[in-house]
Amino acid sequence: MLSLQGKALRGPKLRTGRRYEEAIIMASVFTHLRGIRRLLAICLILLRQVMAYGPARLFFGSAERTRQVGKYLAPDEPRKAPAELARETLQKLGPTYVKFGQFLSIRPDLVPPEFCEAFKTLQDRVPPFPFSQVQRELRQELRRELSEVFSEFDETAMAAASVAQVHRARLRTGEEVAVKVQRPGIRESMVADLFIMLRVAHLIERFVPRLRKNRPVMLVQEFTRWTDRELYFRQEGKNSLHFAYNFRDYPGVRIPKVYREYTTRTILVMEFIRGVNVFQAAERNVDRKSVARLIADSLLKQVFIDGFFHGDPHGGNIMIVDNDTIAYLDFGIVGYLSEDMRSWVFDILYGMSERNVNRVLGSFFELCSVREEDVADLAGYRREMNEILSELPIYEIAGVPFTQMLERFLNTSLGYGIPVPHDFVLVSKALTTFEGTCLSLDPEIRIVDHLRAFVQKYTAAAFTFDELLKQLKAGPYELGKLKRMVLKHGTRAMKFFDNPTVRIAPAGSRGPGGNGDETGVNIAYGFIIAALILFAGLMDNGSDLERWLRTLLPLPSWPILPLAGLGSAGAMLVNLTFRNRRSKKD
């Protein structure tokens, strides 16, 4: 994991003693010195940006003096918008801050919309590092010479970014592979930057109360984990294996094979797949409409069926192998959705495609764990949501992407103070990116139509034998939970189920079993009420049966089946109570 407290020396054994303590102190000192040097460089870049575009007159008094001093610090460029200035500043600050800008672009709950749009255009393309450093990294990580592993190795990098670069090679066993090598020193550089960012975040939380609600320390810590997953190539290899398993029986989608024996913390060796990426599709003779449909269907499957999706499905990360086959690349950024989260997101997007405001808001409030009374201006919020969803036909006629309506929905909700979960924001970002990818191939594609077809295809056939078997396997656990609840609230009922004997009192007595027929009726009522309570406990709002019913009927967003089961049980209990009272009076 990335360390924000400085790098400690590591070795095969735990070392102690004065020399080791001195080494630790020296390592900490060098780390802090590196951080101080980096902090000075950051301050100089920020000063140049302020001098070039900011109110430098505040520092030097007159415009003439500003010009005289500023020409040594910054070029003479026109003043830019704040969002563009922030994007350019992050670009100049280096790879860590470019990644941080990309990370903030999927957090509209913290960053204004115009800044999110500007940060989406951040690029981390840099010149490749020398092949001599590639050789040194490979020897150090693989612990053998290149000739022992590869029969061929292209010295020219196929692609280079701030974190790593990719080379084509061939293994000694004959397989053609792509070798991803991490840039030397990038981890140490990012540790120094993250150390500074964390210190600044602590200062903001302490001295800027207005920004304290955005929790900058937690934001930097979350970005640290996000960056660490991207720098740890073994995790990317595991993500690739996960995708390969999910698409093992899915025709038209290939996931490159990972060679785990040659994959390390900073080296990733994967199958080399020949083809063109989406950006180059116009130059080749491919059926672009067929490819766009394949991308749309495969990503909807990732989000709503698997709950494990590619976090950055832009055109450069999707390879077109032929007219009916695509391949996904670069699994450093992925998203996870729980089954409950998938159900809510599914319901929200389908409700938006059908312009059903009640369904959308009901599911969205459940997703965000918000009650209607928590929204300050619920009437105004509903009015704006009605306005947004009513414009869907205009979006379709004008060819406006469906995800633009989703972005309006998110921004409006954030404006009313509704806390949107980060997972839902990541899903919306992935959907926005993949819709742009599909539109670049086929400008006439309509994601709304694919979403509706997806609902009809998977929801109607969702209650399969495998799903039924899964529910039955979970039955003993649910029954155990119900038993614990009954033991807590009704030991007499459990004694009856353990020993279901009935004592029939003599005729004319007024005991609990004064009438054998009435006792039998009470037992029947008890079993039916228990069955209804069990049914309500097993069914939840995201069950397959309830989702299937929602495709057929315009049901509200409440948990219909559990409420129906509990309501029926309550009605029977009331009816049984009145029957017993009338029988006692008689």
List of residues 6+ apart from 469 with CB closer than 8 A = none
Domain count, the chain: 4
- For 335-372, the pLDDT digits (tens) are 888 888 888 888 888 888 888 888 888 888 888 888 88
pLDDT value of residue 110: 73
- From 272, 300, 335, the end of a domain falls on 272
On whether both 325 and 450 belong to a single domain, the answer is: yes
Q: Are 525 and 466 in contact (CB under 8 A)?
A: no
On whether both 165 and 260 belong to a single domain, the answer is: yes
- For 6-24, the pLDDT digits (tens) are 333 333 343 444 454 444 4
Beta-bridge partners for 328: 318
pLDDT value of residue 23: 46
On whether both 339 and 470 belong to a single domain, the answer is: no
Beta-bridge partners for 12: none
On whether both 42 and 11 belong to a single domain, the answer is: yes
For residue 205, tell me if it sits in a domain: yes
Euclidean distance between CA atoms 198 and 219, whole angstroms: 9
pLDDT value of residue 273: 92
On whether both 254 and 292 belong to a single domain, the answer is: no
- For 76-89, the pLDDT digits (tens) are 555 677 888 888 88
- The number of beta carbons lying within 10 Å of the beta carbon of residue 304 is 22
Note down the domain range covering 200: 125-272
Structure tokens at 439: 């539109």
On whether both 57 and 162 belong to a single domain, the answer is: no
For residue 432, tell me if it sits in a domain: yes
Question: Would the CA dihedral through 131, 132, 133, 137 be positive or negative?
Answer: positive
On whether both 363 and 224 belong to a single domain, the answer is: no
* Whole-Å CA distances, 504 to 255, 512, 521, 539, 580: 70, 9, 13, 37, 16
Mean pLDDT in the chain? 76
pLDDT value of residue 139: 94
pLDDT value of residue 259: 95
- The number of beta carbons lying within 10 Å of the beta carbon of residue 574 is 10
pLDDT value of residue 174: 94
Position of tokens 């819709």? 435
Spell out, as residue ranges, where the chain has pLDDT lower than 50.
1-18, 20-29, 56-61, 69-75, 461-465, 468-469, 471-479, 481, 483, 485-489, 492-494, 496-497, 500-516
* Nearest by Cα to 203 from 221, 223, 217: 217
On whether both 260 and 299 belong to a single domain, the answer is: no
- From 272, 298, 316, the end of a domain falls on 272
For residue 516, tell me if it sits in a domain: yes
* Nearest by Cα to 96 from 205, 216, 204, 230: 230
Euclidean distance between CA atoms 343 and 546, whole angstroms: 11
For residue 98, tell me if it sits in a domain: no
On whether both 312 and 456 belong to a single domain, the answer is: yes
pLDDT value of residue 5: 40
On whether both 211 and 289 belong to a single domain, the answer is: no
For residue 86, tell me if it sits in a domain: no
pLDDT value of residue 539: 61
On whether both 360 and 305 belong to a single domain, the answer is: yes
